[in-house]
Chain A
Amino acid sequence: MDVRVSGVRKEFDRFPALHDVSLDINSGELIALLGPSGSGKTTLLRLIAGLETPTEGKVFFGDEDASLKSVQERNVGFVFQHYALFRHMTVIDNVGFGLKVRPGSSRPSKDEIRRRSSELLDFVQLSGLEKRYPAQLSGGQRQRVALARAMAIEPRVLLLDEPFGALDAKVRKELRRWLREIHDKTKHTTVFVTHDQDEALELADRVVVMSQGRIEQIGTPDEVYDRPNSPFVYSFIGESSSIEVQVKNGELWLDGQALSISSDRPDGEGLLYFRPHDVDLIEDSNGGIAGTVVASRRVGATRRIELRIAGVTDHVEIEIPADHPATETSRIAFRPKHWRVFPKS
């Protein structure tokens, strides 16, 4: 089922949570809504589910205007961060709940509900635990039950709100891979919210990066990582360094020196963004950005150094090979391999 969010705005007590957000989700896609807390990602997810109503704008499921429908009618599978299982029901009753509350005509028989529920429990690798109560399960198992429960209603779209947020790191990685497998088998259109960039980049077909109630960028994991389109995305996903520069005639200048780095921005002040690990070290005073090493730390396979650069207030970080001879106070010059210049805000 295609899902289309069109011009949605949401205010809570006059406080805007989403400003004019539009998003097209293709059928069968696995999409991540990624952003820091307060970016509006959960609000967007809840708007798609119908748990919130938009102040303005519409949500379409296929060609049908879902904004006119209640949560119950939308037929979405929603998985909550804290599972929200019914604790007085056994695992199998939890999974079968959505089928049991259907009105008489569309409700499967008791045996059919039981059969389908245990099939789903099998599918999420929990067979044998049918008679347990949620309190008797681990966090990872509870979240699997929650997913099976959401899938039992044959949802048109699966929505997951920080599904692994309450789990410890190891279980989280396992479930991440497992969710991808489930998605590849079932092909449910799936949207999940996360603040963990690794999770989003590893799991999603496309990542929607959000900040302060707006969508900053939509793209494949490669696109958002390799071609961030705003300073926010540059700094939120992966490591980044930035330097204040001048743009003159399509070239970048710093402290009266040409850096032999080109830019298609109009003349004026700008911010140069690049990845600290994505730089070439070059001979000093041969163009490029030169500075004095003020700090050096070993980080995994590389060494991260801080440079003091004339005309730049903050220290700038780059990564160099671990065996590079540079020590504190040595001079180093470099040129980013990939970069973008954004207007200074």
Chain B
Amino acid sequence: MTLGFTLAYLALIVLIPLTGLVLRSASLGFPGFWHVATDPRTVNALKISFGTSLIAAVINVIFGVIVAWVLVRYRFPGRRIVDAIVDLPFALPTAVAGIALTALYSRNGWIGHWLDLIGIKVAFTPIGITIALIFIGLPFVVRTVQPVMEEIRKEVEEAAATLGANRFQTITRVLLPGLQPAILTGFALAFARAVGEYGSVIFIAGNLPYVSEIAPLLIVIRLEEFDYAGATAIATIMLLISFFMLFVINLIQAWSRRRYGYGA
């Protein structure tokens, strides 16, 4: 009964729209699909989308874990406010975030001005895209890692210390391996969100074809040209790559769950 419900719901909300997507792109026929897939502009857009998303997710994992650690382990004035700020990228309309980041990082913006002096251009380059993706992805890592971290008993660290482990060994051999499943989940969520992100990126990206044009934007451009089949073809490729990556991450998680004998 519950299985039936789950399947019906999944089909209605997820599978049917995605099937429609794939069917629509199939109208191109394989040669047409292949033509879209190998078009240099498409390839570049996909490279930029997945490349910047990957970098942003990795950076988010590193700093997200640190932010979560600080929020869990330290008591300081304003901790609750910082805790609430972490969620802001969830709530803020992404376009607002994009405009704000562009204002900050453009050549005459507060931060972009100084970066420009040392020769780093952020706005209208893949670096800018990455920064926008870091911004929107951070809460995913923090919010998945934080509850698991809260469950780590101080005793486990103390046990490691009495056994002679120094701080570095305690972190790398005891704490991080215990958090690995949660960190992977956070990574997957931040990455998936970044791949599909549109609103915040298009303002800061500058959208130069072959340089700073992301795949979701290319889809919109094709739509505006009434090239629905072309748009769905790009979308199908994105879908396949994303599905493959998330599937691999899921496999790793299932494997580690089995190993540790508890849920991620």
Contacts and interface: CB of A to CB of B under 8 A. Distances in A.
Interface of A: 49-51, 71-72, 74-78, 80, 82, 84-89, 97-98, 101-102, 133, 135-136, 146, 149-150, 153
Given A135-B261, A136-B261, A98 B158 contact: no
Given A101-B169, A101-B173, A72 B156 contact: no
Interface in B161-217: 161-166, 169, 173-174, 177-178, 180
Contacts of A50: 162
Contacts of A150: 162-163
B156 A84 contact: yes
A76 B160 CA distance: 11
Given A78-B159, A101-B165, A133-B259, A84 B174 contact: no
Contact of B162 (A78, A85, A102, A136): A78
Contacts of B169: 101
A117 B143 CA distance: 38
A332 to B, nearest CB: 53
B260 interface: yes
B262 A72 contact: no
B146 to A, nearest CB: 18
Nearest to A90: B259
Nearest to B178: A88
Nearest to B157: A84
Per CB-CB distance, the 6 closest pairs between chain A and chain B, nearest first, are A98-B163, A135-B261, A84-B155, A84-B159, A78-B162, A101-B165
Contact of A97 (B160, B180, B261): B160
Contacts of A135: 260-262
B261 to A, nearest CB: 4
Contacts of A78: 158-159, 162
A106 to B, nearest CB: 10
Nearest to A93: B173
Residues of B in contact with A, size category:
20 to 34
Contacts of B80: none
Contacts of B166: 72, 101
A51 B162 contact: yes
Contacts, number: 76
A102 B160 CA distance: 12
A263 B261 CA distance: 65
A149 B261 CA distance: 20
A134 to B, nearest CB: 8
Contacts of B173: 97, 101
Nearest to A98: B163
B178 A87 contact: yes
B162 A49 contact: yes
A102 B178 CA distance: 21
Nearest to B262: A135
User: Which of B159, B162, B173 counts the most A-chain CB atoms under 10 A from its CB?
Assistant: B162
29 contacts: A49-B162, A50-B162, A51-B161, A71-B158, A71-B161, A72-B161, A72-B165, A72-B166, A78-B159, A78-B162, A82-B153, A84-B158, A84-B159, A86-B159, A86-B160, A87-B178, A87-B260, A87-B261, A88-B177, A88-B178, A88-B259, A97-B160, A97-B165, A101-B169, A102-B164, A135-B260, A135-B262, A146-B159, A150-B162
Contact of B159 (A75, A80, A133, A136): A80
Contact of A153 (B158, B163, B178, B259): B163
Contacts of A101: 160, 163-166, 169, 173
A51 B158 contact: yes
Contact of A133 (B161, B164, B261): B261
A40 B264 CA distance: 37
Given A76-B162, A88-B177, A101-B169, 16 more contacts: A50-B162, A71-B158, A77-B162, A82-B155, A84-B159, A86-B178, A87-B260, A88-B259, A97-B160, A97-B173, A98-B163, A98-B164, A98-B165, A101-B164, A102-B164, A135-B261
Contacts of A146: 159
Interface in B127-168: 153, 155-156, 158-166
Nearest to A80: B155
Given A84-B158, A86-B178, A101-B169, A75 B164 contact: yes
B158 A80 contact: yes
Nearest to B167: A72
A135 B260 CA distance: 7
